[in-house]
Chains A and B, each alone.
Chain A
Amino acid sequence: MTRSELGRWRSRIVTFLLLMPASAWYVLLLLVPLVILIVFSFGGRAPEGGYRPDFTLANYQELPTRSTAFLNALWMATGGTILCLIVGFPLAYFLATRAGSQRTLLLVLVIVPFWTSFLIRTYAWLTILGNNGVPAWLERLGFGHIVLLNTPFAVLLGIVYNYLPLMVFPLYVSLERLDKRLLEASKDLGAGRWATFRQVTLPLSSAGLLSGVILVFIPIMGEYIIPALLGGGKVFFIGNALVDLFLQSRNWPFGSAAAIVLILVILAAVTLYLRLGSRGGGTREVSLL
């Protein structure tokens, strides 16, 4: 063995050792459990809860009993994402057109709530929408008794409140990069404001738009805290069903089947995202810094 070959082997071993701990974490706590999850989903429930080896499709056949949870999550994730987009796009546009120092401050103000406790932000709405909050005010103003908490409205509000920053940031990044001379050119060529927006701004910010949509949609699909606090058992997501199945009723095989379906929905969303966004790089969650 020559000396350079020896060096190459040493380098490889060092690389391997440096990667070992992180790989162990990924393999043991993520990849192997995902395989076990698939195995469990075809298994039976042990009498005292947990898993009993079996091969049956019963868990998947039983899934329609939880279809409300799936459908709630699916339509509210879709609706919440669209609402975030409608509300967030003008804000991102506004931010991208501000001057230097003002823009930094405004951006920081969008990001700060995102880093503060998710639980506390959701809790804040619990008191506002609760009977001592806005409904009491409305009643004093003569609107009658209106229930806001534990409704789809409350859950959607919580979703928009918590996920708006996640939508605004990638949108801002792509709008900020947009060459403003193109807008001038469009105007010079006689296009109106709407035509310019539709034909220039929107297509050129599509990468940020896609990233924002995927960054918001996926976590909402797996949401637990918002429906638990603001939906109060009336509006529940698949996440709430999973917590129930794994922690309370301990029906692991059925829970595994439900989890597999959730993962498949997320996988489908990511695949669609990669298909649509293969031309633009896209911004990822961590760029929220």
Chain B
Amino acid sequence: MTDRITPPPRAAIDKAGRWVDRAFRLQATALYLFLYVPIGLVVLFSFNAGDRTGELRGLSLRWYGRALGDPFAMGALENSFVVGTWTAVIATTLGTLAALALQRASRSVRAVFEAITYVAIIIPGIVIGIATLIFFVNAFAWLNPQLASIWSAFGLGAPPTIGTGLHTIIAAHVLFTMAIVIVLVRARLAGMDRTLTEASFDLFASPFRTFVQVTLPQLRPAIITGALLAFTFSFDDYVIASFVAGPGKPTLPMYVFSSIRRGITPEINAIASMVLSVTVTMLLVVGLIYRRSSRIAAAQRAAELADVQETVP
């Protein structure tokens, strides 16, 4: 009787039949295997003692040793870390500032800005690569003669020339990661409790103090997630980097891609496994932050509820 009054919401589809349910289960299991077996094989063969991917000849760490001792791989890894870190810092700062400004901007400005933000997110990397390459080529073509004329006017000797390098990759990565930060922070701002800000103003806090003590702590999960995502995307990108990278300064994906082109060795598997472990660690951190913030929110809600119950006899 009782379950007819409040039907368990999830049971409805399960009732479709045991065989249908079994088919769904089977399909899901197959898909999870499909998703994880290839990655698992990459990790497995990174421990291969043999030379060929495909036949496992005992386990060893020699390919990790080889990868860690490879100056080109390690140089590329360092470049990727530099690019990823700067991208995360700049994208998070600019994205957060823009998201805050959009709260106060007029409706038309907001609409235009949001449209460009979605364009920057959805546009394929190849178009971003081309667009940023075009910008840099034109900018350098204009800038370098200017520098040369200034240097010769003051008699400073050989003028410096600005070219592509890690900074151009960072600038290109900021373009789309910043857009992601804007969306994340705006989503958080939309869900924020406005009464706290109003209370802060009522208590005579300056706008700056309100921002630091009230708004910023509430935005923290979105900002940290945005930064980690920006880093991950930047660290993973091959296409954009290949357009705007400077000579002799490849990122890790560029190094991996060119070594795959030269022939598959278990060393690539070792590098890939290390990259995977970095990504999975990042995801765990993001997951923990989200769980913690939702737990705190739940605890706050529970406390508020308890307060209400206390005041209402």
Partner-B contacts on A (CB < 8 A): 11, 14-16, 18-19, 21-23, 25-26, 28-34, 36-37, 40, 50, 87, 90-91, 93-99, 106, 108-110, 112-113, 115-121, 123-128, 130, 132-133, 136, 161, 164-165, 180-181, 183-184, 193, 215, 218-219, 221-225, 229, 239, 242-243, 246-247, 255-256, 259, 262-263, 266, 270, 284-286, 289
Contacts and interface: CB of A to CB of B under 8 A. Distances in A.
Q: Is the interface of A mostly helix, strand, loop or mixed?
A: helix
Contacts of A215: 122
B243 A180 contact: no
Interface stretch (B31-39, B71-79, B195-203, B212-220): B31-39
Given A239-B126, A259-B127, A18 B13 contact: no
25 contacts: A14-B101, A25-B174, A25-B175, A26-B116, A26-B120, A30-B128, A33-B130, A36-B138, A90-B27, A96-B13, A99-B10, A109-B32, A110-B35, A117-B236, A117-B279, A119-B257, A161-B34, A161-B38, A184-B12, A193-B17, A218-B123, A219-B124, A222-B127, A239-B126, A255-B130
B306 to A, nearest CB: 24
Interface string B175-188: 10010101110010
Contact of A113 (B35, B100, B122, B138): B35
A150 B55 CA distance: 22
A90 to B, nearest CB: 5
A108 B290 CA distance: 13
B264 interface: yes
Given A29-B132, A120-B256, A183-B12, 6 more contacts: A96-B13, A109-B35, A118-B238, A119-B253, A120-B39, A222-B125
Contacts of B275: 117, 120
B242 A123 contact: no
A255 B126 CA distance: 12
B31 to A, nearest CB: 5
A222 B176 CA distance: 15
A242 B132 CA distance: 14
B24 A93 contact: yes
Contacts of A28: 135
B14 interface: yes
Given A117-B275, A120-B42, A133 B54 contact: yes
Interface of B: 7, 9-10, 12-14, 16-17, 20, 24-25, 27-28, 31-32, 34-36, 38-39, 41-42, 45, 52-55, 94-95, 97-98, 100-102, 104-105, 109, 113, 116, 118-135, 137-138, 171-172, 174-175, 178, 180, 182-184, 187, 225, 232, 235-236, 238-239, 242-243, 253, 256-257, 260, 264, 268, 272, 275-276, 279-280, 282-283, 286-287, 290
B131 to A, nearest CB: 4
A222 B13 contact: no
Nearest to A26: B116
A31 B287 contact: no
Contacts of A29: 131-132, 135, 171-172, 175
A93 B27 CA distance: 11
Given A247-B242, A289-B225, A127 B54 contact: yes
Nearest to B290: A289
B55 A285 contact: no
B39 A121 contact: yes
Contacts of A33: 130-132, 134-135
Given A33-B135, A34-B131, A127-B41, A266 B276 contact: no
Nearest to B101: A18
A164 B35 contact: yes
Given A29-B132, A259-B127, A284-B118, A113 B97 contact: no
A266 B123 contact: yes
A154 to B, nearest CB: 13
Contacts of B287: 108
Contacts of B282: 115
A127 B268 CA distance: 11
A266 to B, nearest CB: 7
A286 B180 contact: yes
A120 B31 contact: no
B279 A246 contact: no
B236 A118 contact: yes
A140 to B, nearest CB: 12
A93 B101 CA distance: 40
A139 to B, nearest CB: 12
A93 B279 CA distance: 28
A230 B20 CA distance: 35
B264 A130 contact: yes
Nearest to A246: B130
B266 to A, nearest CB: 10
Contact of B97 (A22, A98, A108, A223): A22
Contacts of A262: 124, 126-127
A19 B110 CA distance: 10
Given A29-B131, A255-B130, A218 B122 contact: yes
